[in-house]
Structure 1
Amino acid sequence: MSLIRMLADFLSLKKGMIFVYVLNTVLLLFLSYVFYDVDDIMYPLLVSSFILFIYLVIAGAGYFKVYVKLQDCKSSPQIELDESKVLDKLLFGKINEIHEQYNTRIYELKSSVKERNTLFSQWIHNMKGSVSIIDLASEQGSQQAMEDIQEENGKLMANLEECLNMLRLDDFSRDYLPERVNLHRVATRAINARKKDFIYQGVYPKVEIDEALFVYTDEKWCGYMLEQVLSNAVKYSRREGLVTVRSEMKGDRVLLTVQDNGIGICLEELPRVFDPFFTGRNGREDRSATGIGLYMVKYIAQRLGHGVSMESHKGAGSMFTISFLAKM
């Protein structure tokens, strides 16, 4: 910005004060002339003008300093404050807060993008492996090759479905409707959605939830979380096993547990069950495992304000718990 433009902006900023000062000076000179017969107005006029000039110089210097600091705000993440000046503390203190908030947000976005890129890179790698196996199997044309193709095709479909679910999370904030939800209804619908899994695995569901129990959550996303947990419970249950979904009041919280009597998880693997793509020993034996389901459950639960935890013992089954705020 040119000096002339800066001066014009400064005078425009101070025009109200200059007008009042000039009006006050003229009024005082007029009253002095009328009531006190003061004929010499040049001296007080010069003194008044000099005082105005000194004020404008000092104020202009302050305006210039503020202007320079404002220009620095464009590139500097933090502006040094002059604690002795109220304007500095009010204006630049708030600008520093805004800078800090935006820097935090930018860091979170970068971390999210980096994590997302890692996830999709892993998915692409997984699917490339399936495509390679299908390609080799198709050249053989044997019965075993067709079974391999069918198995790998199932893995491709599972990976693609998980990709779609991850992309849907981008719309989470626009697709989140917290409301009073009947927990028994949500659990029943989730079990019905996984009915084929229960039938194919020969596992039986059991619901022990009060039909009059309500919680504060988003019904669609809560149902999605339960489906993921139930899918894991069924997958690692023994044939003719039982998956129990029950509720329990604990203070102002409602604990929803999904318990199975399946193969369980090693104690040393428990802290990592919510990590993306972690499948553990059980997942390595089940080639359809993607290691993304529980990661997404925790991701959604955190944004819904729910707590999630898991207990398990090798050979004695697992118990997954979701903690809700009761809404009575």
Structure 2
Amino acid sequence: MKWIKQIYACFNDYKLWFLILIATNFLFIFLAWLAYPETFVILVGLMIVFMLTMISLSIFIIIRKQVKIDEAFEDFLLEPNDTNEERLCQVSPETHLTYIRRLGNVIRSYQSKLNDQVIELTDYESYIEGWVHEVKKPLSLMTLILDNRIDEMSPLVRRRMLHVRDQMLGDVEKILYFARLGAAHKDYNFESISLLAFCKETIKNNQTLLDESGFYIHFTGEEMEVLSDRKGLTFMLEQIVANSTKYITQNNGSPMLKFETNYDNAADEIILNISDNGPGIAEEDLPFIFDKGFTGRRGAYTREATGMGLFLVKKMAYDLAIHLDVKSELGSGLTISLIFPNVKE
């Protein structure tokens, strides 16, 4: 099949020359019929054999040369140095040499710029990773003081300090997960998770954030088992909860978060709905809330909006094979649905 494609491509590329050769051969056949009618059959046979031989030989030579060009071109693309460029020029037609040399100069120029950017990015990542580990030291010291100096501060001050500490820890975790999502190798460990119990555990670990915001938490639905990565799913839930706490409104009474599990029989999927009673999102902003840096109209409610939390949620959901769906209207809160495939053992 490969040879057939190569022969067809050769005919298609050089069809004009082959047509000229065939037309010339037919001209000589006609002249042979006029000049030598008694030996016409023998001459026609010889001419046809000669024509087929020349066509076959030409195709063989063209295909063989094209294979060499393809090999040299592939090496040139993988490593566009002077040696590979010269090798490609040696096997290519003379008319192509100018284009090959221009292409080599352009590729090497872009490759040099790319190498410089890779070095800068590596230095930046190293700096960020070092900064993250350094900033954990004062946070650990803050935790130590808060745990050992309870009697020296009022409950309100301690609650506020715990809230600030947890916010800082959340920002640090966000940076670390952003770096992890861009890594080539990711240490995900998929295991069976009881969904509602897992949500309750996540809420318990973020209780100071919710207490400071005055949220009421409600769980409903049946307990269901999903297969996912525990750390990644925790990060997703924490970002969704943090997103809800940034947009608190008193228009609908006390702030509320609702966790609800459902099972879709038709699609054979497990659904976790996370709803709040915040200000909601405008219909024109809804398709873009998972875009990087997007804050929309709701960003005007708070200076804390960065547009990164839900963007990271979307990236993590892709890695964990979780489908996201969102529903909202202005003034009626926001519902984010995590749709898990029902993986059977």
TM range (shorter): 0.5 to 0.7
Q: 1:285 to 1:224 in 2, by over 3 A?
A: same
1:238 to 246, 249, 255: 249
Same amino acid, percent of matched pairs: 27
Q: 1:250 to 1:220 in 2, by over 3 A?
A: same
1:244–1:260 contact (8 Å) kept in structure 2: yes
Identify unmatched segments of 5+ residues in structure 2: 1-59, 79-113, 129-160
Q: 1:221 to 1:157 in 2, by over 3 A?
A: closer
- Aligned positions of 1:47-66 closer than 5 A: 66=67
- 2:76 match: secondary structure: coil
Distance, in Å, in 2 between the alignment partners of 1:215 and 1:155 is 28
Distance, in Å, in 1 between the alignment partners of 2:272 and 2:71 is 54
- Aligned positions of 1:109-258 closer than 5 A: 162-171=174-183, 173-211=185-223, 213-238=224-249, 240-251=254-265, 252-258=268-274
Distance, in Å, in 1 between the alignment partners of 2:165 and 2:218 is 32
1:264–1:318 contact (8 Å) kept in structure 2: yes
Verify: 1:311 aligned to 2:291, yes or no. no
Residue of structure 2 in register with 1:70 after alignment: 71
Q: 1:323 to 1:60 in 2, by over 3 A?
A: same
1:155–1:288 contact (8 Å) kept in structure 2: no
Q: 1:263 to 1:71 in 2, by over 3 A?
A: same
1:183–1:209 contact (8 Å) kept in structure 2: no
**Following TM superposition, by how much is the alpha carbon of 1:193 offset from its aligned partner in structure 2, in angstroms?**
2.2
Q: 1:63 to 1:314 in 2, by over 3 A?
A: closer
Q: Which digits, 9 at most, give the CA deviation of each residue in 1:184-224, with x for residues without a partner?
A: 2321122112211210111111112423x101211110111
1:189–1:223 contact (8 Å) kept in structure 2: no
1:208–1:246 contact (8 Å) kept in structure 2: yes
Verify: 1:269 aligned to 2:285, yes or no. yes
Letter in 2 for 1:205: I
The two structures, once aligned, show a CA RMSD in angstroms of: 3.6
- 1:245 match: secondary structure: strand
1:204–1:242 contact (8 Å) kept in structure 2: yes
Residue of structure 1 in register with 2:135 after alignment: none
2:180–2:186 contact (8 Å) kept in structure 1: no
**Following TM superposition, by how much is the alpha carbon of 1:241 offset from its aligned partner in structure 2, in angstroms?**
2.2
Letter in 2 for 1:323: I
Distance, in Å, in 2 between the alignment partners of 1:280 and 1:208 is 30
Q: Which digits, 9 at most, give the CA deviation of each residue in 1:56-82, with x for residues without a partner?
A: xxx9998776445422321359xxxxx
**Following TM superposition, by how much is the alpha carbon of 1:165 offset from its aligned partner in structure 2, in angstroms?**
2.8
Distance, in Å, in 2 between the alignment partners of 1:315 and 1:202 is 19
Q: 1:297 to 1:172 in 2, by over 3 A?
A: farther
Residue of structure 1 in register with 2:18 after alignment: none
- 2:202 match: secondary structure: helix
Distance, in Å, in 1 between the alignment partners of 2:245 and 2:167 is 17
Q: TM-score by structure 1 length?
A: 0.54
Q: 1:184 to 1:269 in 2, by over 3 A?
A: same
Letter in 2 for 1:175: D
- 2:285 match: secondary structure: helix
- 2:339 match: secondary structure: strand
Letter in 2 for 1:238: T
Distance, in Å, in 2 between the alignment partners of 1:225 and 1:157 is 15
Distance, in Å, in 2 between the alignment partners of 1:233 and 1:154 is 15
- Aligned positions of 1:11-22 closer than 5 A: none
Residue of structure 2 in register with 1:293 after alignment: 309
Q: Which digits, 9 at most, give the CA deviation of each residue in 1:72-113, with x for residues without a partner?
A: 321359xxxxxxxxxxxxxxxxxxxxxxxxxxxxxxxx9xx9
**Number of matched residues?**
204
Letter in 1 for 2:263: M
Distance, in Å, in 2 between the alignment partners of 1:202 and 1:208 is 20
